[in-house]
A and B are shown apart, each in its own frame.
Chain A
Amino acid sequence: MAMRIRARMKGDITAVTAIIAHPMETGLRKGSDGKLIPAHYIQELTVDVAGQRVVDSRLNTAVSTNPVLNFKLKGAKVGDKVVVNWVDNLGEKGTGEAAVTG
């Protein structure tokens, strides 16, 4: 249930959508047992296209569970590898990749 990445090229603009499976717990919610659910959220999210870093972001607790990242870029080619990497506050990591389609 890791990640779904779509990178579609139309003209010279590539629209990238990444849907990432992650609980994104703020640490402020209480479970059904009344105890606080520990914070567990992505802190660092990067995207590389054809080996070049295009997104370098710091996320925080305002982002929902199963975050969806949408962005557009110029300069990609069909077949270029889009690689998404994340690191969360517990040190867990995730990665996914897809090729640009056109």
Chain B
Amino acid sequence: MKYRLLAAATAIGLGLAVTARAEDTAAEIQQYRQMLTDGNPAELFEMEGEAMWATKRGPKHATLEKCDLGLGPGVVKGAYAQMPRYFADTKRVEDLESRLLTCMVDLQGFDRAQLSKKPFATAGHKSDIEALVAYVVGQSRGVPMHVTLNRPEEKAAFEYGRELFRYRAGPYDFACATCHAENGRRIRMQDLPNLTTTIGAQRAYTTWPAYRVSKSLFRTFEWRINDCFRQQRFPEPGYTSDAAIALTTYLAVLATGAPYQGPGIKR
């Protein structure tokens, strides 16, 4: 704990002091990442979500045990690996968070607008949806990502996501591609995966959602997209909006084949 902190500080200190070579810094970042995997507090959120799934909640006082994530009502194992996907009841391509909202509304009687108002936890307020996400994604551990584009709606979402990835906007004229379409790029101490390559997309998409150590909070993929938009000084995307789901679909398809390792852990 204290020694871990010391070792991490030394590792990063060494990386900066010795030389500014890209490989050295990358190696030190990798070493720090390795140290983080020795115990992931995301599992606490998985446990919380698992309990919440089976708890009667909301105005309808019902559990989520009949929620259909695409493999049939109540089937959670392996469900995340095939999302986002089209759902006939909502006539929409939905990512995991959108589908959880749908189930919380339909089965438990919650109000969708109310749930979407402050979906992300802060130091002062918890988020139920984050715990549910942690639980559901954890149930796809080891399952290869396999989002398929069978329906025209799914194909459209992929195309929309691909276009959005390259769409330059905001005061810096940034697109996702500005930072994420080249190899070997880094912003301060964060490696920027090249999301246009299979290996980059796989690495990025299978390490989210994740526990953010510096915030002691669990972050979902909708949060990741929201924060990317914030970093680009874009307008805030709607929670589970078509744009966010399209980008998720695009990345999920690029990441096809990679086995999902369960919730990740980040700095």
Contact = CB atoms under 8 A, between A and B. Distances in A.
Interface of A: 1-4, 17-19, 21, 31-32, 59, 62-70
B128 to A, nearest CB: 12
Q: Does more than half of chain B's interface fall in helix, strand or loop, or is it mixed?
A: loop
B41 A68 contact: yes
Nearest to B5: A62
Nearest to A67: B1
Contacts, number: 47
Interface residues of B, number: 16
A63 B1 contact: yes
Interface stretch (B43-51, B198-206, B238-246): B43-51
A18 to B, nearest CB: 8
B38 A17 contact: yes
B255 to A, nearest CB: 27
Nearest to A32: B124
A67 B1 CA distance: 8
Contacts of B45: 1
Contact of A59 (B1, B5, B41, B123): B1
A3 B48 CA distance: 10
B188 interface: no
A35 B164 CA distance: 42
A68 B36 CA distance: 10
Nearest to A66: B41
8 contacts: A1-B45, A1-B47, A1-B48, A19-B43, A32-B124, A64-B1, A65-B216, A66-B44
